[in-house]
Structure 1
Amino acid sequence: MTKSKIKVLSALIVLGGLLTFSACDENNNFVPLFTVEDDKKLGEQVSGEIAADPATYPILDRAEYADAYAYLDGMVNEILNNGDVAYRDEFVWAVNIIHGDETLNAFATPGGYIYVYTGLIKYLDEADDLAGVLGHEIAHADLRHTSRNLQKQYGVQILLSILLGQDAGQLTQIAGQIAGTVAGLSFSREFEAEADDRAVEYNAKTKYACDGVKNFFQKLEDEGAAGGTPEFLSTHPSPVTRVADITAKASEIGCDTSLSGDTGYETFKTNLPI
């Protein structure tokens, strides 16, 4: 047997052990085998892929739209500083605005890169609504939902490449795949419910209404948007179900659901391109 075959066989044996003993903890909770450092590397590469494709992702320039970014950064930082974000200091938590007035979407990549479309910002009526959506996206990153999806889809290949010291090329390949589909990224109902709940918990410790995330789904329902529901909601629980679940979560923890009265939100929207 050649040395290379022995190396691969050894890696597979180690990998088998990892999959057997590390996929769940003693309470049978799922444990990501993809490391936090891998999250950070992958997020950086995905961010680079997105920045290199302005035709698909026309990101607003920070210097030109400094006032808009200052407002959004302030909102994101207030949510991040609630004390419950596990990777507050490890991830970059960089937020970008994508010019797309017809797109009601926001998404987050591994490592804390957050993207929000102008269409969603302009669609939402209150600062609390946007804070709720941002809390939801922060939760996806902090709960490492993309990495957990990757483990299910690519787990063996990723771990084997890492064990063989080939993770950089593998991560680059996956980063390109994620960047090509991230705007339409969908998570399981379990992950969406988890992110909704965490958004309520996050915003309970801010000036924003803790249940603000439900207002997006309520507006979609009120406007009868079933035929025009954003693509990224197509596999999610229905808006009415999510409103009920978010309302129940807010009631469960007894948090403040009154609007913040943030008058700067309208000015923020006027600072965006028409």
Structure 2
Amino acid sequence: MKNFLPILFLSLLILCGCDRNSNVNLFSPDQDVQLGAQINEEILSKHNEYPVLNPSQYPESYEYLNGIVNNILESGQVNYRDEFAWQVYIINDDNTLNAFATPGGYIYVYTGLIKYLDREDDLAGVLGHEIAHADLRHSTRQLQKMYGLNLLLSLAVGEGSGLEQIMGQVVGNLTALSFSREYEREADSRSVDYLSGTDYECDAAKSFFIKLSEMEEQGQVPTFLSTHPNPDRRIQSIEARSQEVGCSTEPLDPQSYQAFKQSLP
């Protein structure tokens, strides 16, 4: 944490004269990277809460997942392709249908989500969405709105357990972060843009919401819907964006994805 403090003083000086609700992101991209790295370290240290699969024990699983991420990064559409870390981790929890991204390009995908989806394109759509959250720097923009001066002051001058407590709160908020509808729409739209530069079905992000809608119609309401409402509206928006872009909506062969799912515990 101390490595992050000197850089924050400049942000602190700027922030003192700014509205906490401003759309301007007062964190620099370098600060996104440093904050993300420290949050990643915190997440990896809490194995009971975040049971991350060890890449050395599941090399094939990680190779497959990194292949999807790299395909998206090579689309030519990712703004911080070379600046951010773009590290992806698998969290071993079959009961959670979720993925999340932290600042600087750290992405975490739950096995429950991977096994819930049917095709590589579907996961590429979700990963494109999470990459967009990092690439558009939604997390630090959201933190700025949530904490404002209090966060930066504490990080800049805090010491000991108080500072650790704040970092714990930041980690907890980021892993369960409920982005604004504006941010979710931006990430959905950017996912289409990313996938348009790949061989994936460019509107594949909608597949997850289609499955959720079907569950809802059957009287099953996944927990995910409590923080990510209006799946039907998001499906429509994703489809509309794909029509604007004019990209391919043909999916890839799903066989390799089934082998990927079987490689997980």
TM range (shorter): 0.7 to 0.9
What is the TM-score when the length of structure 1 is the normalising length? 0.84
The aligned runs of 1:1-80 (5 Å cut-off) are 15-17=15-17, 19=18, 30-80=23-73
TM-superposed deviation, 1:182: 3.4
80-89 vs 180-189, which moves further:
180-189
Q: Check conservation: 1:15, 1:160, Cα contact below 8 A.
A: no
Q: Deviations over 1:210-235 (max 9, x none)?
A: 0001000001112226643234x423
TM-superposed deviation, 1:176: 1.7
TM-superposed deviation, 1:16: 4.0
96, 101, 106: which one aligns with 1:103: 96
Q: Check conservation: 2:215, 2:221, Cα contact below 8 A.
A: no
Q: Deviations over 1:225-260 (max 9, x none)?
A: 6643234x4233311111111111111111111102
Name the structure 2 match of 1:235. Answer: 227
Asked if 1:120 corresponds to 2:129, the answer is: no
The aligned runs of 1:186-265 (5 Å cut-off) are 186-224=178-216, 227-231=220-224, 233-265=225-257
Q: Which segments of 5 or more consecutive residues in structure 1 lack a partner in the other structure?
A: 1-10, 25-29
Name the structure 1 match of 2:263. Answer: 271
Instruction: Describe the SS at the equivalent of 1:97.
Output: strand
Q: 1:23 to 1:216 in 2, by over 3 A?
A: closer
Q: Check conservation: 1:133, 1:213, Cα contact below 8 A.
A: yes
Q: 1:159 to 1:254 in 2, by over 3 A?
A: same
135, 138, 144: which one aligns with 1:142: 135
Q: 1:204 to 1:14 in 2, by over 3 A?
A: closer
Instruction: Describe the SS at the equivalent of 1:223.
Output: helix
- For residue 95 of structure 1, what is the amino acid of its counterpart? V
Q: Deviations over 1:160-190 (max 9, x none)?
A: 567xx54898986543213224332210111
153-162 vs 240-249, which moves further:
153-162
- For residue 48 of structure 1, what is the amino acid of its counterpart? E
Q: Which has the larger radius of gyration?
A: 1
Q: 1:154 to 1:251 in 2, by over 3 A?
A: same
Q: Which segments of 5 or more consecutive residues in structure 2 lack a partner in the other structure?
A: 1-10
Q: CA RMSD in A?
A: 2.5
Q: Check conservation: 1:79, 1:202, Cα contact below 8 A.
A: yes
Q: 1:154 to 1:125 in 2, by over 3 A?
A: same
Q: What is the identity percentage for the equivalent residue pairs of Structure 1 and Structure 2?
A: 53
Q: How many residues align?
A: 253
